[in-house]
């Protein structure tokens, strides 16, 4: 019993200690976005040299965020300028409004370089490490120059000059919440799945009811050109009795439909919400009459008819959601761009199963598509 009691007390103590540490850490960090500095953000320490009134310790920190802009979700790193209040200090005899301007200008200079750093990594995330080092060093250099010219805060003229200059630069580089500028590589790929309905006309329409089909496909793209491979599987009913290849298809029998096609689409219109373009294609179509148990035993029965069919129509895609994912620190990759789309397709196809059963079909399909490209 004593062992369990000791374990319980230890666990409670560790949990309390961890929570206290987390609270101390959060309370010691202050963001530039919280507003102007006050002396409450500094520790009062009287043992420093009389030539220095205060010191501020800061750092750039980045955090993963997801932001939504209409139908676009951006996954990226967002930088913040943070002050460490446990290390920053002021001499009690220097806690005046004049001396507070000195650490505030240092903090503002660092914020100005943070914005430059954020703008650069949004455009070139693959150079994250190099950019962090460059802007961190450039910021240190600028602050070092300010400390020298302002005589560590005692030169009021330089303090006023820097205050006006940095405030103007901050106003001109206001931190706007914008979509990072990006461009995609020429090649892309997608996966598509959905349903299709094929309605026959002519002699084929007299023999076959409309086919209800499941479609599955993939595509490769180059710029505005899309090359699709699509497979349709499904079936329907025989409308009227007929004979083909010495086999009689009886009215009311079910038939199976299989179509594998190659298609080419050119996107004439492509914006943040829609992608529209004409397409053409060619495929192989096979109809098989569903066999009875007795017929399955006879291997000589040829209950299939097939054809090569040509098709043409229009492809309309509605972009439900887009995703931009930036990848940081990898020289060969900036990330990827994805689109989740509903694709509505309407097209006509020539359906000539054999000379006696020529006809056309009108096709309607609705598919869900995931399309992706790498960033360049």
Tell me the pLDDT tens digit for each residue of 208-227: 899 999 999 999 999 999 99
Q: What pLDDT score was predicted for residue 303?
A: 76
Whole-number percent of the chain with pLDDT over 90: 64
Q: Report the mean per-residue pLDDT for the chain.
A: 87
Q: Check if the beta carbon of residue 62 is closer than 8 Å to that of residue 82.
A: no
Q: What pLDDT score was predicted for residue 9?
A: 41
C-alpha–C-alpha distance, residues 339 and 273, integer Å? 10
Q: Check if the beta carbon of residue 210 is closer than 8 Å to that of residue 238.
A: no
Q: What pLDDT score was predicted for residue 15?
A: 46
C-alpha–C-alpha distance, residues 360 and 297, integer Å? 34
Contacts of 350 (CB under 8 A, 6+ apart): 309, 310, 311, 360
Q: Report the DSSP pairing between strands 72-84 and 58-69.
A: antiparallel
Q: What pLDDT score was predicted for residue 42?
A: 95
Q: What pLDDT score was predicted for residue 176?
A: 66
Any bridge partners for residue 363, and if so which?
198, 347
The mean per-residue pLDDT over the stretch 35-39 comes to: 95
Contacts of 14 (CB under 8 A, 6+ apart): none
Residue 135 banded pLDDT, cuts 50, 70, 90 = very high
Any bridge partners for residue 80, and if so which?
61
pLDDT tens track for 180-199 = 889 999 999 999 999 999 99
Count other Cβ atoms within 10 Å, centred on residue 356: 11
Q: What pLDDT score was predicted for residue 44?
A: 94
The mean per-residue pLDDT over the stretch 73-102 comes to: 94
Dihedral pair phi/psi, residue 113, rounded to 5°:
-75, -30
Does residue 19 surpass a pLDDT of 50?
no
Q: What is the pTM of this model?
A: 0.79
Contacts of 98 (CB under 8 A, 6+ apart): 156, 159
The mean per-residue pLDDT over the stretch 22-49 comes to: 86
H or E element that contains 239: none
C-alpha–C-alpha distance, residues 32 and 37, integer Å? 8
Q: Check if the beta carbon of residue 248 is closer than 8 Å to that of residue 242.
A: yes
The mean per-residue pLDDT over the stretch 117-137 comes to: 94
Poorest-pLDDT segment among 33-37, 71-75, 352-356: 352-356
Dihedral pair phi/psi, residue 38, rounded to 5°:
-130, 165
Residue with token string 């006696």: 356
Does residue 83 surpass a pLDDT of 50?
yes
Give me the helix-helix angle, 128-149 and 156-172, nearest 10°.
150
Residue 353 banded pLDDT, cuts 50, 70, 90 = low
Higher pLDDT among residues 355 and 197, named by residue: 197
Q: What pLDDT score was predicted for residue 22?
A: 44
Question: 278, 277, 273: which is closest to 341 by C-alpha?
Answer: 273
C-alpha–C-alpha distance, residues 195 and 211, integer Å? 11
Q: What pLDDT score was predicted for residue 351?
A: 74
H or E element that contains 360: strand 360-375
Q: What pLDDT score was predicted for residue 24?
A: 65
Give me the helix-helix angle, 97-123 and 128-149, nearest 10°.
160
pLDDT tens track for 280-323 = 999 887 778 776 555 555 556 667 787 778 899 999 999 999 99
Count other Cβ atoms within 10 Å, centred on residue 108: 21
Q: What pLDDT score was predicted for residue 304?
A: 79
Question: 80, 77, 79, 82: which is closest to 67 by C-alpha?
Answer: 77
Q: What pLDDT score was predicted for residue 355?
A: 58
Any bridge partners for residue 284, and if so which?
260, 308
């Amino acid at each position: 019993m004593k062992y369990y009691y000791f374990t319980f007390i230890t666990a409670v103590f560790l949990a309390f200690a961890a929570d206290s540490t987390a609270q101390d850490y959060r309370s010691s960090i202050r963001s530039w976005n919280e507003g102007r500095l006050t002396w409450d953000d500094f520790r009062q320490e009287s043992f420093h040299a009389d030539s220095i009134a205060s010191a501020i310790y800061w750092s750039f920190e980045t955090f993963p965020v997801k932001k939504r802009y209409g139908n676009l979700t951006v996954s990226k790193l967002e930088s913040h300028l943070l002050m460490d209040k446990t290390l920053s200090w002021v001499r009690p005899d220097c806690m005046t409004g004049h001396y507070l301007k000195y650490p505030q200008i240092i903090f503002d200079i660092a914020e100005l370089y943070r914005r430059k750093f954020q703008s650069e990594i949004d455009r070139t995330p693959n150079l994250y490490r190099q950019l962090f080092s460059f802007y961190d060093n450039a910021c240190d250099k600028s602050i070092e120059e300010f400390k020298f010219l302002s005589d560590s805060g005692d030169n009021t003229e330089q303090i006023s000059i820097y205050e006006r200059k940095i405030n103007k630069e901050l106003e001109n580089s206001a931190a706007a919440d914008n979509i990072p500028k990006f461009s995609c590589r020429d090649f892309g790929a997608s996966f598509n799945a959905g349903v299709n309905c094929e309605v026959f006309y002519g002699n084929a329409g007299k023999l076959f009811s409309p086919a209800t089909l499941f479609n599955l496909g993939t595509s490769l793209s180059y710029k505005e050109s899309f090359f699709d491979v699509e497979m349709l599987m499904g079936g329907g009913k025989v409308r009227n009795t007929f004979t083909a290849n010495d086999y009689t298809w009886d009215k009311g029998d079910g038939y199976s439909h299989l179509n594998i096609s190659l298609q080419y689409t050119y996107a004439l219109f492509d914006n943040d919400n829609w992608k529209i373009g004409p397409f053409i294609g060619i495929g192989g179509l096979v109809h098989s009459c569903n066999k009875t148990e007795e017929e399955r035993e006879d291997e000589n029965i040829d209950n299939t008819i097939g054809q090569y069919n040509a098709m043409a129509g229009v492809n309309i895609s509605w972009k439900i959601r887009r995703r931009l994912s930036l990848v940081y620190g990898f020289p060969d990759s900036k990330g990827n761009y994805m689109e989740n789309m509903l694709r509505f397709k309407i097209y006509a196809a020539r359906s000539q199963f054999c000379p006696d059963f020529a006809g056309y079909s009108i096709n309607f399909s609705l598919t869900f598509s995931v399309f992706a490209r790498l960033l360049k």
